[in-house]
Amino acid sequence: MTERQRIALTNVAAYNQIDIPFLYMKDQNGQHVTKAEAYILIQMILDGVRPVPEYLDSLGRNADTYATPPHPQFWLNCDAAPTVMQMAWLNQLIDDIGIPEAVKLKALEGLTRGQASLLIGRLREQKGHIRPTEEKRMVFEHAVQTVKAELPTPKEEELDLQPVDSKGNV
């Protein structure tokens, strides 16, 4: 993290009354937050998302701090349910765009962790460029379709899952 990012993060955290331990601890809480992680955290807070303590504690703990993050299709947990932070960020971005609740809920249904990551990126790119109400919905729905096409949800057969009843029997 650069000194400018540290100052910016300190300011947005103070303004939003968010406690970020690694900012003021002498040993930085053993965390070596990268520029990319700091950028994402600053943007998250500016977008109105309050990071949970577990997320803050996870920053700067990667052994290879300069590795480019892989595309979500290469994640081991790509098909898992989105994280709490991803859902909070998506909800905030979608609300900021002005998408009706019913449309939002339908679009987010069945979303995977990888798809959520890609959708956050797409919505952040589009956020300031969408004007009329009809265009907002069209751009949002197109972003969701694009993300789901780029990273399709695996079918039950592909996961080799067997249907389970309410008692856990196969």
Predicted local distance difference test score (pLDDT) of residue 47: 84
More confident residue, 31 or 110: 110
Predicted local distance difference test score (pLDDT) of residue 12: 94
Distance of alpha carbon 111 from alpha carbon 106, whole angstroms = 10
Reported pTM:
0.60
> Do 47 and 14 meet the contact criterion of CB atoms below 8 Å apart?
no
More confident residue, 73 or 82: 82
Q: Hey, what are 12's tokens?
A: 């947005």
Side chain identity, residue 67: A
pLDDT > 70? residue 99: yes
- Across all residues in the chain, what is the average pLDDT? 80
> Do 117 and 72 meet the contact criterion of CB atoms below 8 Å apart?
yes
State what percent of residues in the chain have pLDDT above 90: 15
Sign of the Cα torsion 110, 114, 115, 121 reads positive
Q: Which residues contact 147 (CB under 8 A, 6 or more apart)?
A: 115, 118, 119, 122
Distance of alpha carbon 111 from alpha carbon 113, whole angstroms = 7
